[in-house]
Chains A and B, each alone.
Chain A
C-alpha cells in the first residue's frame, strides 16, 4: 500500500507537469492556432520580449505577489500563533472572522472593496492591489500555519522551558525550525494565489498597474497568443533552474560538513 501511495503521488507530479510540457512544445509552434503543430520557431520568444505591456504587467504581478505574500505570511503567522499556541479566548470567533474572505464570492468582495477604497479617497494602484490580495491570501496562510502549529507536539516547547530556555529561545531554537517548511508552504500558496488572481485585481488595479492575469484575461476576446506559452515556459524553466542551482549549492554545503 505504501508503495502504491508513492506511485500515485509520483503520477500526480506527472499530471502537474503535463500541461507544462504541452506549453513548452507549443511555445515553439510556428502555427498561430493551437490545435496544429506546423514547425519549429523562436518567433514567440522574440515577440514576448518586444511586448512591453505584457512584461510590465508581469513586473506588477511579481511585485504585488511578493509584498502581499510576505504580509499575509507574517500576519497569518502571528494570528495562528495567538490562536493555537496562546490561550486566546474567543478562538472560534477569530478563526471565523479570518475565514470570511474565503466564503465571500470574489466579485462581491472586489466590487465592495472598490467602493470602500474610493470613498476613503485611496486611488487604485499597487497599494489597493496589495490590500486586496492580502485579504484573500490571509486565510490561506493562516489555515496552513494553524494546521502546522496545532499538530506540533506541545511537550517539545515544555521540555525546552523545563530546561531553562527563555520563551524567545524556545521559539527560535525549537518552534521556528520545526515550522519553517510550513512557513514556506504558506508563503508559496499566498504568492501563487496573488500571482494568479483575476477578479479582485479587476477592481483594485489602477492606471498602469494591470496585472499579468488581467492582461491575459482581457486578450481572450481576440484569442490567446502563443507568446503566452513562451512566457509560461520561461517562468517555469527559470524557477526550476534557480531551484536546481540552489539545490546543488545546498548539497555542497552538506557535504562540506555539519553546520553549527
Chain B
C-alpha cells in the first residue's frame, strides 16, 4: 500500500544520512572544549582561517562559534535588532563608524590589550576610528584593477584605461556604489573621500559615460572572467580572489591605479553588552600576536595589519605579491574609504541614475 511513500522515505532517508554523517563531526568540536566558556564571532567568510580558531580553542579551552555574513549591512541589521548573541564582529572601516554611532559596539579598554603595538602604523589611530577606541584592524587590502594583458594588449596603469573604448564590452565594474565611485572620482583627479556635491556629480557623469562600455557590474566572479579573457579589465579588490587569479594565469595582473590608492580594512570589535567580555578580550589579544596574524596571509591570502607578522609569513612571496600586499610606494597618498555621512544622498541619487540608465 505504501509504494509511493517509498520515494517519500527515500528523501527522508537521504536527509537522515546527511544528518548523521555530519553530526558526528559537529559534536566532536563542541565536546572538545568543555566548560571554559564560549565565544560567538560574526565575520566575513574566508577571513578567519581555521588554524586561528583551532589554535585559540586549544589554548584557551573556549568554544568558538563562527558565523559568516556577506555584507556589512546585513550584519548591522542583525545586531541592530538586538539580542543577536554575538560577542565579536568583524566590520569594515565605514561599518565601524556606523556601528559606533548606533552604539552597537563597545569601547575597547586598552589596558586589557596585549600586543596592540604590533599593529602597522597605518592602522593605529585610523581615520574611521580615531584612537582605535572601538576596533582592532585584522586584515586589509586595496581597491584596484585586475586585467588580462593578452586581452588588453598593453600594460594598464590607471582608471583611465577603464574608459578605453577599445575594451568595449569587456570592462567590468564592482557592483557596489562606493567602490564604483572610487574609480569615478579618482579618474577625474578627485579625492575618493569627497563629500562635495559638484564633485560627486562629475563622477556620476563619468560613470554614466562609461556604462555603454561595460560588460557588466560584478562583485562575485570577476576574477574568473579576467582569467578567461571574457573580461579584459575589471575593478577589483585585492586579496584571496585576486591572488588566485594572478597565480593561475601569467597574463593576469593586479595593479593599484596611478590616480590614487584606496584602502579597506576589516577589524575586530566587541559587541555592546556582550556576556562573554573576557573571552572577547582573549580573542583580541590572541589575534594581535604576530605568529597568529601571519596565518591570515598564509592560510587566507590576505594582508595582515600586524607589522610584526610580516617576517613570520611562511611564504614570503605572498608578502611581495601586489594582489595581496600593495607595494608601499603606491600607498603613499592612499586613503581609507570612510562613511560619506550626509553626502550619502548625493552618491545614492547618482548611483540610482547610473544603474537604471
B157 on the interface (CB 8 Å rule)? no
Are A124 and B78 touching (Cβ within 8 A)?
A: yes
Are B4 and A207 touching (Cβ within 8 A)?
A: no
Q: Mask for A85-108, Cβ within 8 A of B = 1, else 0?
A: 000000000000000000000000
Q: Mask for B231-243, Cβ within 8 A of A = 1, else 0?
A: 0000001011100
A90 and B18 alpha carbons, distance in the complex (Å): 43
Chain B residues positioned under 8 Å from A124 (CB to CB): 78, 83-85
Are A208 and B45 touching (Cβ within 8 A)?
A: no
A215 and B22 alpha carbons, distance in the complex (Å): 16
A31 and B13 alpha carbons, distance in the complex (Å): 34
Tell me the smallest distance from the CB of A190 to a CB of chain B, in Å. 11
A106 and B3 alpha carbons, distance in the complex (Å): 37
Q: Which of B127-135, B188-196, B218-226, B344-352 contacts A (4 or more CB under 8 A)?
A: B218-226
Are A180 and B4 touching (Cβ within 8 A)?
A: yes
A246 contact from B7, B84, B219, Cβ within 8 A: B7
A215 and B45 alpha carbons, distance in the complex (Å): 8
Chain A residues positioned under 8 Å from B68 (CB to CB): 53, 210, 214-215, 218-219
A225 and B68 alpha carbons, distance in the complex (Å): 16
Are B18 and A219 touching (Cβ within 8 A)?
A: no
Chain A residues positioned under 8 Å from B357 (CB to CB): none
Q: Mask for A36-75, Cβ within 8 A of B = 1, else 0?
A: 1000000000000101110110110011011000000000
Are B7 and A220 touching (Cβ within 8 A)?
A: no
Are A206 and B85 touching (Cβ within 8 A)?
A: yes
The A interface is mostly helix, strand or loop, or mixed, namely helix
A242 and B10 alpha carbons, distance in the complex (Å): 6
Question: How many residues of chain B have a CB within 8 Å of chain A?
Answer: 59
Select from chain B the residue with minimum beta-carbon distance to A118: B81
Select from chain A the residue with minimum beta-carbon distance to B221: A223
A207 contact from B10, B25, B67, Cβ within 8 A: B67
Chain A residues positioned under 8 Å from B5 (CB to CB): 180, 184
B35 on the interface (CB 8 Å rule)? no
Tell me the smallest distance from the CB of A205 to a CB of chain B, in Å. 7
A3 on the interface (CB 8 Å rule)? no
A260 on the interface (CB 8 Å rule)? yes
Question: How many residues of chain A have a CB within 8 Å of chain B?
Answer: 64
- With A115-B81, A203-B78: A259-B1 Cβ-Cβ less than 8 Å: yes
Are B45 and A222 touching (Cβ within 8 A)?
A: yes
Contacts A49-B25, A206-B85 aside, 11 further interface pairs with beta carbons under 8 A come to: A52-B50, A124-B84, A181-B4, A208-B67, A214-B68, A215-B45, A218-B45, A218-B69, A219-B45, A243-B10, A246-B13
Q: List 9 A-B contacts (CB under 8 A).
A: A111-B77, A124-B83, A207-B40, A207-B65, A208-B67, A222-B47, A222-B240, A223-B223, A242-B17
What is the interface of chain B, defined by CB distance below 8 A to chain A? 1, 3-15, 17-19, 22-23, 25-26, 29, 40, 44-47, 50, 65-70, 74, 77-78, 81-86, 219-221, 223-224, 227-228, 237, 239-241, 244-245, 248-249, 300
What is the interface of chain A, defined by CB distance below 8 A to chain B? 31-36, 49, 51-53, 55-56, 58-59, 62-63, 65-66, 111, 114-115, 117-118, 121, 123-124, 177, 180-181, 183-184, 187-188, 191, 202-203, 205-210, 214-215, 217-223, 235, 238-239, 242-243, 246-247, 249-250, 253-254, 259-260
